Structure 1
């Protein structure tokens, strides 16, 4: 079921429609003059995004989460303005799915996912240098110096900032879990679209070009004079569950989208896309019960509904499905609260 089927009418300025169906756009809109970059050389976007996107949003084109018309418009605004999109909302409301839908629909390669924790630092997203591994390799080769690029591995953010002709999609997942300094540390990188690899800058006179590893599987890229500068600013989706506030300078450089809990129509579209024929199971009733339970517990994740539908269909196939007390007990276990506060209540 397409986004149009749940109320999203096509809008003429949209390059992204929110369907998740591959519809390769030959040329994305030009960025504002102040968001243009000049990275060289041009890198090619890796192919094979369909498999990764399908694993995340379902096995068929457009399967999985269906964004609302407002969400689609905000994604397009972020693409036109070349600004990160900060996506907030309760867990399980489809925040991360936006990144995969965008990459699949616009043909922007595999999503570069950067999961953030309380220990994550900016450099973790940019690159890692394995100094110990290099020393061990030198010793193993009896003093022969290996190529330093074999020990430089670009992270998801660093890979996204390579000079691709078409932008990559970067998912910065759960930034609200980060150390207090990380959002401010991101400002210069997002504003300038570049960073330096210190270990390569120091040897730039002797080795002006070095091939390094990227965050893509078995990928590599040439870095010139130790500097990575983007050509097309990546499509950056930053998710937050609202566990903290972000500083004003960071918010000023982002567009902000709050994802509301899913409607019955959105949930129905998601179930239809994932399961197709659901004869033998009253999906409307299951969705109504799910929404009521979600309201009671302070919010459930959409995949908790999918778990219940899958189990109901398995039971229906064997003739064991009955919406009785035993089934309600199973639903209570499947639809457990996502917060300890809700559990206590």
Structure 2
């Protein structure tokens, strides 16, 4: 194991993040005062946090996660569906005790502002029309998004998962560059009232404590570990790629598949699953299959005790169907 690794890929929680060296001078941020998080919380994504406990990661992925941590750069993780791209974020958060993962699922309608914050202008107008005092607490009409929350001045980096960035409109990756470079952003609705409300408390995307926004600006202290996933459905601009650490997750081979089955279902099931793994690999080579389909097949067969070999094959056929829709 390399001595410089902060994230080790062992799945055993530890405080290694506390020995992360200072950032490069060009990646130093000065937001504050520092905010604390519940570093062991799993308030969101409980199922994924559970999967993270058995996540199998190779040395290349460990090295590139650490590279992103050291350089305070986003990590772009590309690979076929089912290779564990999203689960990697939960595995890192669990091992380094970085609290709940902030997840931003991307669609073709996603904008940078969606990730930064939401402003309930309609609610404010309705309350003003009802004669309520809407300027007493302007923060009540706002909530930070996953990206905006990750850029709050936390003492340790938050883990932000930007899931399936390749589904976005063409401009979104470039729009994110300025936010990633500066480590801060402005909320215009609060900047306009900074003279009367210089400090406004705004709810984060998760269940953590409110974030104090000073003069309409949010600035990070510890740059978040940003993990962007891509199914390779599009290409990204060179300027975007240049600012990311890039990881290609390859489909697991026979040895890793056996280790995955062992981690999830136990050694006995892994030992008995040799033929299923071979069938899975053969089908995967001729059309898309995801690793969780293999786990489903092994589980189904292991719980359907007493069946003949032909029934075993039939049960496997039920779930080992190519993602392309072909039989």
Which of 16, 19, 40 is residue 10 of structure 2 equivalent to? 19
129-138 vs 327-336, greater mean Cα deviation: 327-336
**Are 1:53 and 1:101, in contact at CA under 8 Å, matched by a contact in 2?**
no
**Partner Cα separation in structure 2 for residue 273 and residue 15 of structure 1:** 23
After TM superposition, the score normalised by the length of structure 1 is: 0.89
What corresponds to 1:327 in structure 2?
A: 312
1:95 correspondence with 2:85? yes
Q: Number of paired residues?
A: 325
- Which string of whole-angstrom CA distances, capped at 9 and with x for unpartnered residues, describes residues 66-95 of structure 1? 111111111111111111111111110011
SS at match of 2:77: strand
Deviation beyond 4 Å, 4+ runs, structure 1: 50-54
Deviation of 1:280 after TM superposition, in Å, equals 10
SS at match of 1:108: coil
72-81 vs 281-290, greater mean Cα deviation: 281-290
1:144-159 matched pairs, under 5 angstroms: 144-145=133-134, 146-159=136-149
1:1-345 matched pairs, under 5 angstroms: 10-25=1-16, 26-50=18-42, 55-58=47-50, 63-140=53-130, 142-145=131-134, 146-217=136-207, 219-278=209-268, 282-297=272-287, 299-316=288-305, 319=306, 321-324=307-310, 326-340=311-325, 343=326
- CA 1:196–1:131: 2 relative to 1, 3 Å: same
SS at match of 2:2: coil
- CA 1:82–1:46: 2 relative to 1, 3 Å: same
Deviation of 1:31 after TM superposition, in Å, equals 1.1
- Which string of whole-angstrom CA distances, capped at 9 and with x for unpartnered residues, describes residues 14-68 of structure 1? 0111122211222322211100100012111234435757621536xx6332111
**Partner Cα separation in structure 2 for residue 262 and residue 110 of structure 1:** 27
Deviation of 1:135 after TM superposition, in Å, equals 1.8
- CA 1:126–1:103: 2 relative to 1, 3 Å: same
**Partner Cα separation in structure 1 for residue 269 and residue 229 of structure 2:** 36
Please report the RMSD computed on the Cα atoms of aligned residues, expressed in angstroms: 1.9
SS at match of 2:125: helix
Q: Where does structure 1 lack aligned partners over 5 or more consecutive residues?
A: 1-9
After TM superposition, the score normalised by the length of structure 2 is: 0.94
